[in-house]
Structure 1
């Protein structure tokens, strides 16, 4: 079993009486974001270590508990040790820590006790020096026995510092903080301004999980511009999803009415909106909704090309356009199900829409359908070949 432990003790810089854990981040509080990361990394319960209770902290814990019921407040190592099942490992997050899923996943999969460290003492992730070379970077994986050892110390000890010392003295593995993780936003922030700046970096990292060329150069760039504004204004995720659905519906209506070029262009806007909604869902730990939005993008692409093929068939009487549309949609559906790691040049629903739109706008929708059919079939062949090589 893996449990989580979040420290929520220190006050924010320039905000007397306000805990760092209750500062706004990502459209929620930092504490809620940290809890989301821990549950996403596979913890079955999360404990919040506090020094004092504030109304804002209690409200943040209650909101987090609505999504993840197994989250509790503790006031000491002794109380924490009592609430964790025997034999469990504990994934610890420092007070004020901002990080991302890849970092948490790496620490959650560590073989035993481990400390995330940096060899740069001036790094924004450096919290406390461990030895002549390394400083703690805010995440630790410890055993329940070590937590119990801390519980036996005098009452005036500093819980977080004592935990770090016990883990370091036990010979815990040192996991180095990579440049990519640091670039993704990993750091300890103690002020509202610092969190706001870090928020932008984390949001940018979230949008980069879509790796094909179309998303990287078009839709990801759009999401990077829009997402911080949406989060900063506390726009609910469902509103973005509904907006994407409405725009997508308009594109389908335009295409069905014979305006294939206009429909494909509006579909690009719908795709950008849905992709932004998916990134926002990931930020808030709503993986299921993010997955549904990804499939909604595929459905939009498939319906656009199928309707485009039907419109061309109605206009020319040729069965070639609908056949090409079916091939494109079916091949891409198979690509989505192939477990191979996607390559940058591989087709995706959003890439197909970018390829198809110029042809549709120019009045050559059939050529556009042929292009996406060939593209999806070539990608499928490469994906299958890649799977065979791994086997």
Structure 2
């Protein structure tokens, strides 16, 4: 059954006044900076990635930063709406879908969103009661609520129909507990490592970002050979630092394109090694931009802008090969590398191991070493054979 989501976004951060009528986004937990966005925008993207067909943000007041966040989310194809009271939520919420509730200020690893979404309602994400979970809401003598709750329409609307002034977040949690909701227990290591946290200050959000963003997503890869074993670990270290300083992935991609273009010019001027080093750095910039997109919960970028740095690197390889032997010797290699690049980025490599994928980064490093020890022309010939072998392995090892 599909589900919608409601994200609570009206609590003040630690040490700030609790009056939400001022319209100052700086007093809200939802306005804290995280992963290049406000925290509430990051939570919306997490819920959408987990499968939420529509997301509601429960706010006390509508601010300009929140309105701009709604515009960005809508532009990315996420159905999101603001609700300011229970009456609006009752009117807007779908009657035939489960509802995922996300706690105000909760930063939770994506794997837990997926685990909750895979369960039938009603289900709670909880943690054992301990000193490490003291900031979480206690639900009984054994567990504390870890910030996620999936409820059925009956339980949701039965709770929303209650009269009086009450906290929807905590009342709904208690109603789920009383209804005997299933519990998914978060390991204590997840709490200690910041994979599940409730933040109420910018300093706390920064600490969680440092602990969580550098690790999140290490198990996935769209790279091959040198990209996977050399450049990707560097990108994993660089990306969290750039994200915390609000560096956009788009600027990084444009910088990668500029580096590749300069490298191609250097190769034309008979500086092949320097040019290829710039091309390798260009690919590193592109991989780092991919990582920034992953951490910011954006979908994979396979558009022309993401492929442009690789296209310029391939042109650079043609230039390097042509400088060594004016007969477009590098063109067949560039065409084969283009096929491998598209297969990697479109996830059509099957179960082939990263070391067997002869990508542009691998070819560039291979040509640098060949130029130093044997010359460009032998390197082009050997690299072409390696690229043929890589394409052949992708074809022959692909499952029927």
TM-score by length of 1: 0.82
Q: CA deviation at 1:299?
A: 2.6
Unaligned regions of 5+ residues in structure 1, if any? none
The answer for the alignment partner of 1:8 in structure 2 is 9
8 Å CA contact retained: 1:78, 1:148: no
The answer for the alignment partner of 2:380 in structure 1 is 369
8 Å CA contact retained: 1:332, 1:377: no
2:64 paired residue among 59, 66, 73: 59
CA deviation map 1:136-160 (0-9, x unaligned): 2212222222210111234233211
8 Å CA contact retained: 1:125, 1:187: no
Q: CA deviation at 1:7?
A: 1.0
In structure 2, the CA distance between the partners of 1:114 and 1:368, relative to structure 1 (3 Å rule), is farther
8 Å CA contact retained: 1:207, 1:220: no
Q: Distance in 2 between matches of 1:79 and 1:368?
A: 67
The answer for the alignment partner of 2:366 in structure 1 is 355
In structure 2, the CA distance between the partners of 1:365 and 1:130, relative to structure 1 (3 Å rule), is farther
Q: CA deviation at 1:3?
A: 1.6
The answer to whether structure 1 residue 114 and structure 2 residue 123 are counterparts is yes
TM-score by length of 2: 0.80
8 Å CA contact retained: 1:147, 1:163: yes
The answer for the alignment partner of 1:192 in structure 2 is 202
The answer to whether structure 1 residue 254 and structure 2 residue 254 are counterparts is no
Moved more, 172-181 or 196-205: 172-181
In structure 2, the CA distance between the partners of 1:76 and 1:266, relative to structure 1 (3 Å rule), is same
The answer to whether structure 1 residue 27 and structure 2 residue 42 are counterparts is no
CA deviation map 1:331-371 (0-9, x unaligned): 55445552525634342443443333322344633444355
Moved more, 354-363 or 188-197: 354-363
What secondary structure sits across from 1:137 in the alignment?
Answer: strand
Q: CA deviation at 1:30?
A: 0.8
In structure 2, the CA distance between the partners of 1:75 and 1:330, relative to structure 1 (3 Å rule), is closer
Q: Distance in 2 between matches of 1:184 and 1:9?
A: 23
In structure 2, the CA distance between the partners of 1:73 and 1:301, relative to structure 1 (3 Å rule), is same
Q: CA deviation at 1:15?
A: 3.0
1:177 paired residue among 177, 186, 192: 186
In structure 2, the CA distance between the partners of 1:27 and 1:334, relative to structure 1 (3 Å rule), is closer
Moved more, 175-184 or 128-137: 175-184
In structure 2, the CA distance between the partners of 1:351 and 1:151, relative to structure 1 (3 Å rule), is same
2:50 paired residue among 41, 44, 68: 41
8 Å CA contact retained: 1:261, 1:357: yes
Unaligned regions of 5+ residues in structure 2, if any? 19-26
Q: Distance in 2 between matches of 1:173 and 1:378?
A: 52
Q: Distance in 2 between matches of 1:156 and 1:81?
A: 15
What secondary structure sits across from 1:250 in the alignment?
Answer: helix
CA deviation map 1:232-257 (0-9, x unaligned): 43334432222122112112222344
Q: CA deviation at 1:176?
A: 4.0
8 Å CA contact retained: 1:6, 1:47: yes
8 Å CA contact retained: 2:99, 2:153: yes
In structure 2, the CA distance between the partners of 1:248 and 1:324, relative to structure 1 (3 Å rule), is closer
8 Å CA contact retained: 1:262, 1:361: no
The answer for the alignment partner of 2:213 in structure 1 is 203
The answer to whether structure 1 residue 214 and structure 2 residue 226 are counterparts is yes
- The aligned length equals 382
8 Å CA contact retained: 1:32, 1:60: no
